[in-house]
A and B are shown apart, each in its own frame.
Chain A
């Protein structure tokens, strides 16, 4: 039970321990509610600690491979065969990066939920589904097998849909969940069809083995189109964004924070397919321009539709669409430049900006949704016209909201500034128009958040609010995310060198990805 054993088995343990806890929670819930809360907290903290240990090892250069059911964890190819035949988990730099995001936001959301859903019914099922969402996210990030990706995608979307409809006594929650579920289901079926197309041609399901033998035939092009459409649908890019405002608004606030991370895991799957599965056999110019256009549309349409909103969470969900556009823009520019010599100068910087923005967005958007949930907990409404003067009684929530608003607008010294500066500088070298549109979107983002802060927190206090701040566990959940925002904002150079650069390097380097599974 020493550190070496833990490091070898950690990819499988990180998926199996929350799964076991998710199945134990309904049984323990019958005995005692306090034991269930303690179990969920212990599991979330354990996942966070093991994830940090694994990420520390992966970022210093070793990719971890885990073959399920073989005679030792690194035996991917059995002795009589020439291709990998079992489910292989592969944790490289980008997987460990996304795993850190999922574990951190799940811990913050779990702590926040202890007080937030205390008065609702059916809490045992809430915590079971929360742990299943974490399993789905970690499974999608660690897997090296295409069909395993589909299965964990479905686990994630079914658990999310059930949690969006958690407040089933309100009609609009179930309606939002139904819309989310139909679109998510269509996307997953398109992914399954594309997996069938690839399997029928090459008789392989392992992503590294497929990347080695991939020829870019007509059927592969159809499969690529289906993958891009389905994963862009799942992450909320325009023009497939219809489900995002409806479902983010009606979910409980901690679940909305996790839904943001779930959308980014679909973004991760899109990048994994484009970079590591297809790699340089793609027509990188065309596909890069498509992803850049999706990014530009998302940025601009998202933020202009956010300005006239009256519902606080609906406004923030349109901003989530717009920030996803930044990530698509950054990594799209990286894809556009990948074979060319300019990649090592500003292409890599664009990819680092896009990938760093994923972590920053999860942190500050999660914090903003948690503060919106705290406001809803106090005044029982989400309409901006019906609330004012909350800064008098909710001082900490106002401070956290201000930090989140400054971070999303890209103001130093918070973390949004660092990633947005990387994107502006590197995208400018490709074409100045992209950078100008990105800066314009950032200005409009600041404008809409000034509107929200003035409307919700400024002014004379409302007459019928209870005095005092929200409960402590909600504050602790928000503090975890705030600490991340401030630390990443004060030391962005360290973060980019040690955390983001290995992730971007792992994404751009398809040969290392194949070598880890087949060569080794």
Chain B
């Protein structure tokens, strides 16, 4: 049971992130919501690789010991880098929108309708 707690945390993070993106009006809070969802998905990827009573996978022609999976670590690293780039671009969009409209409320900046 104790090894299922990371998966429960993943589901909680994704639900909190989705609720933030859907229900909040401030643009910065929407960006934070996307970052929380991304943290949840990264945690999910790392947790997939865990095996009980195993060592770090840094060997050359290893004997058959139990090791954690190294591939999810590479996937998570790539995902974190992509998340940094996404967050940087979204925040620069938020800065530009603030310079134009003077407000960050998503209901007041809706010029494109219908």
Quick check: do A and B touch in the complex, using CB within 8 A? yes
- Which residues of chain A have a CB within 8 Å of any CB of chain B? 147, 151, 154, 158, 161-162, 165, 168, 171-172, 174-178, 181-182, 185-186, 189, 192-193, 195-196, 199-200, 203, 205, 245-246, 249-250, 309
What is the minimal beta-carbon distance from B39 to any residue of chain A, in angstroms?
Answer: 10
Chain A's interface: helix, strand, loop or mixed, by majority?
A: helix
- A154–B82 CB distance below 8 A: yes
A193 and B96 contact, Cβ closer than 8 Å, known pairs A172-B112, A186-B37, A205-B71: no
B interface residue count range (under 10 / 10 to 19 / 20 to 34 / 35 or more): 20 to 34
Bitwise, B64-86 to A at CB < 8 A (1) or not (0) is 00000101100100110010011
Complex contacts, B96 vs chain A, CB 8 Å: 165, 168, 174
Q: Is B15 part of the contact surface with A, judged by Cβ < 8 Å?
A: no
Residues in chain B within 8 A of chain A (CB atoms): 14, 21, 27, 30, 34, 37-38, 41, 44-45, 48, 69, 71-72, 75, 78-79, 82, 85-86, 89-90, 93-94, 96-97, 100-101, 109-112, 114
A475 → B minimal CB distance (Å): 30
Contact between chains at A175 and B41 (CB < 8 Å): no
Q: Which of B34, B71, B85 contacts A182 (CB 8 A)?
A: B34
Q: Which one of A154, A168, A176, A196 contacts B112 once the chains associate, using CB atoms below 8 Å?
A: A176
23 A-B contacts (beta carbon < 8 Å): A151-B78, A154-B86, A158-B85, A162-B89, A165-B93, A165-B96, A168-B96, A171-B101, A174-B97, A175-B97, A176-B112, A177-B93, A181-B89, A185-B34, A185-B86, A186-B34, A189-B38, A192-B45, A192-B79, A196-B72, A199-B48, A199-B71, A250-B112
A171 touches which one: B69, B85, B109 (CB < 8 A)? B109
Flag if B41 contacts A193 (CB, 8 Å): yes
Residues B79 and A249 in contact, CB atoms below 8 Å apart: no
- In the bound complex, what is the Cα–Cα distance between A196 and B86 (angstroms)? 20
In the complex, which residues of chain B have a beta carbon less than 8 angstroms from the beta carbon of A165?
A: 93, 96
Residues of B within 8 A of A192 (CB): 41, 45, 79
Q: Which residue of A lies closest to B74 (CB)?
A: A147
Chain A residue, CB-CB nearest to B85 = A158
Are B21 and A181 within 8 A (Cβ)?
A: no
Please name the 3 residue pairs, one residue from A and one from B, whose CB atoms are nearest each other, closest first: A171-B100, A200-B48, A174-B96
Give the CA-CA distance A245 to B112 in the complex, in Å: 9
Question: In whole angstroms, how far apart are the Cα atoms of A161 and B92 in the complex?
Answer: 12
Whether the pair A181, B44 counts as a contact (CB closer than 8 A) is: no
Which residues of chain B are near A175, meaning CB under 8 Å? Answer: 97, 109-112
